[in-house]
Amino acid sequence: MQRTDFGKMACSIARTLDVIGEPWSPLVLRDVWVGLTRFEQLQADLGISRKVLTERLNHLVDQGVLERRPYDRRPRYEYVLTEKGAELVDLLMVMAGWGDKWLAGEAGPPVLYRHHACGEISRVDLRCAHCGEPMHANDVDPLPGPGAAV
């Protein structure tokens, strides 16, 4: 069965899903963000097959989300987030916040975030870039943008 090409849709959510919509991709990005940058580390932590991990890493490199860097003579490679990839981690933090609120259960969230600037444990909080007020889906009106399909 052929997978739908979300990258050609005039929708930023669909285009983002084209990059990270496959379930292993966000988990690979999470692991690279926390410092598991080598193939063997990723495979061991995720319990993913070599074939699937290779496919995911190649896709994320091709999308400009990860960069492959040699670290040994064979050569062997490690994977690091690009600027584009680091911004995707922000999205993953929002997803984690939703999971912490609705799915964590009595044990509480599995990960806490310490803010570098103040040193306090915090959570991701969406705010308007102009006025600084909290911003949620019911606080905005989605309007057609310059890239909208007509």
- What the chain holds in terms of domains, given with CATH numbers, is 6-139 (1.10.10.10)
Task: State yes or no: pLDDT of 78 exceeds 80.
Answer: yes
Is residue 150 predicted with pLDDT exceeding 70? no
What is the arithmetic mean of pLDDT over 70-76? Answer: 87
Contacts of 142 (CB under 8 A, 6+ apart): none
In this predicted structure, what is the pLDDT of residue 82?
Answer: 98
pLDDT tops 70 at residue 1: no
pTM: 0.88
- Average pLDDT, stretch 78-97? 95
User: In this structure, what are the phi and psi dihedrals at residue 122, rounded to the nearest 5 degrees?
Assistant: -140, -175
Determine the average pLDDT of the residues in 54-74. 95
